[in-house]
Amino acid sequence: MGSSTTISIPAYQSHVAVTPFPFGTHAPPLLSLTTALASLAPSSHFSFLCTNRSLASLPSPSVANLSFVPISDGLTGVTGPTNIVVEIGLFLKSSEKSLIEGLKAAELAAGCKVSCVMSDAFLAMACNVTREMGAKWVPVWTGGPQALSAHLHTDLIREIVGVGDEAMKAYGDKSIDFVPCLSHYRASDLQEGIIVGDLQSPFSTMLHQMAHRLPNSAAIVLNTFQGLDSTADSFFTQKFTNYFPAGPFHLLNSTGTEPLTDPYDCLPWLDRHEPSTVAYISLGTVVAIPPSELASLANGLATSGASFIWSLNEKTQSLLPPGFIDKINKTGQGKVVPWVPQISVLGHTAVGVFVSHCGWNSVMESIAAGVPILCRPFFGDQLVNARAISHIWKFGIALDEVIFTEQGVVRALEVLLKGEEGREMRDKVRQLKDMVNIALTQQGSSRDNLKRLMNIVCGC
């Protein structure tokens, strides 16, 4: 008998590399989207490229055709203390090289070439890398559509408004009515790096470059759902060949990406409260709230008498007014814990308001749960998100004083938890929740966009 010939058949029909921006909360929603795509396309392999520190904070892959691939954070050889600004700068400086090395490692591990790179839109240098390797580039914008529109029109905004503090003083309260999606927003609502701030910083430069490169993508994906902002839907449909609002990302998988744990018994505590009577407070993980505001918020909560759960790391807990935690524990009014299963807590019937920094993930989670928001934005797109919540969609309120004051907190909680205006806001956000539920049905817009995205990234 003649010798047989062994034919090597690739294990996967296509290989998609996914790379998030490894700071803040960019990675979790992108992992949720990737998991949903991998579940839809079992014959394709998905490599999730991120720094070791970011990967360590994520749940392990829940599908067989998804694997984690570590890449450099740019800190090798760096000595001495750093901060997040320095770390972002170092990561960006080495990001193109790190991505190329990560792609090579992913190809070796999976046994097939990468045909598409789905990157966080922040990492627009992926456009150059994919072009050189003959692959498709699909950026994912994990923030809100209004903030993205602002970045896409940075040059126009600077031409009309100017730049710097003087330009902001002159134009700050005027609407940006010459930009699609922003006619109801003020110049003062725009994120840093467009008009004010260090316009030459690595971060600002990265976002400016992103705006010029995004139109070269095969598709763009947003963590939103069709109909939340019809003006944005119309603009992005015209701007991009393929526009996919496929969110909320955190609901694309039946298990989600939140660990199913509740180490501080938040949910049993909520079980003892009436519907829509509890305030949930979480102000993000990046910005440290000023001590004076921390005290004002704590005192406002105590004075209001409202029941509350406050997610606050242990280091910051030590800065609370003396005796505050002992008092609320004794009275049972509140619960201050270092970690909260946020999606589960927001979904509990007892929660009636979310006191939030208005990061886009939190906005999506609040809408999906049908919970109004008390807005305290700090930086970036949080300002434009807060404006949308309080003045456009009107399912939340902004603080009169902009920052937390004791009386401002008391007034806001009174409105949101007890007043007729608060009930109207709950009705409005529940209508948006209904839209989310429809978008996520098998024939809904987000599911349809997810399937169309799969066809592009997997080459089906």
Question: 258 falls in which pLDDT band (50, 70, 90)?
Answer: low
Question: 459 falls in which pLDDT band (50, 70, 90)?
Answer: confident
pLDDT tops 90 at residue 383: yes
pLDDT at 284: 86
DSSP H or E stretch at residue 221: strand 220-222
Question: 7 falls in which pLDDT band (50, 70, 90)?
Answer: very low
Is the separation of the CB atoms in 85 and 285 below 8 Å? no
> Catalytic: 26?
yes
For residue 104, the tally of other CB atoms under 10 A from its CB is 13
pLDDT at 392: 95
pLDDT at 21: 96
pLDDT at 6: 42
Is the separation of the CB atoms in 103 and 2 below 8 Å? no
pLDDT tops 60 at residue 256: no
Q: Which one-letter DSSP state was computed for residue 393?
A: S
Q: Name, in order, each residue with C-beta under 8 angstroms of 194's C-beta and a sequence gap of 6 or more.
A: 150, 151, 154, 157, 158
Are domains 14-143+198-252+442-457 and 266-438 of this chain identical in fold?
yes
Domain boundaries defined on the chain: 14-143+198-252+442-457, 266-438
Radius of gyration of the chain (CA): 23
Question: 4 falls in which pLDDT band (50, 70, 90)?
Answer: very low
> Catalytic: 229?
no
| Percent of the chain with pLDDT strictly greater than 90 | 88
Superfamily for 14-143+198-252+442-457?
Answer: Glycogen Phosphorylase B; (3.40.50.2000)
Please give the Cα distance from 460 to 454 (Å, whole number). Answer: 8
- For residue 420, give both structure tokens: 């007729």
> Which residue out of 15, 45, 73, 120 is catalytically annotated?
120
User: What does the mean pLDDT of the chain come to?
Assistant: 93
DSSP-assigned beta bridge partners for residue 140: 120, 221
- For residue 284, give both structure tokens: 């993000």
Please give the Cα distance from 148 to 142 (Å, whole number). Answer: 10
pLDDT at 1: 40
> Which residue out of 26, 151, 250, 357 is catalytically annotated?
26
Q: Which whole number is the average pLDDT over 145-167?
A: 95
What are the pLDDT digits (tens) for 272-305? 999 999 999 999 887 788 999 999 999 999 999 9
Any idea which architecture 266-438 has in CATH? 3-Layer(aba) Sandwich (3.40)
What are the pLDDT digits (tens) for 72-108? 999 988 877 788 888 998 999 999 999 999 999 999 9
Q: Strands across the sheet with 136-141, in order?
A: 66-71, 44-51, 14-19, 116-120, 136-141, 220-222, 243-245
pLDDT at 401: 87
Q: Name, in order, each residue with C-beta under 8 angstroms of 107's C-beta and a sequence gap of 6 or more.
A: 15, 113, 114
- For residue 385, give both structure tokens: 């998100």
pLDDT tops 50 at residue 5: no
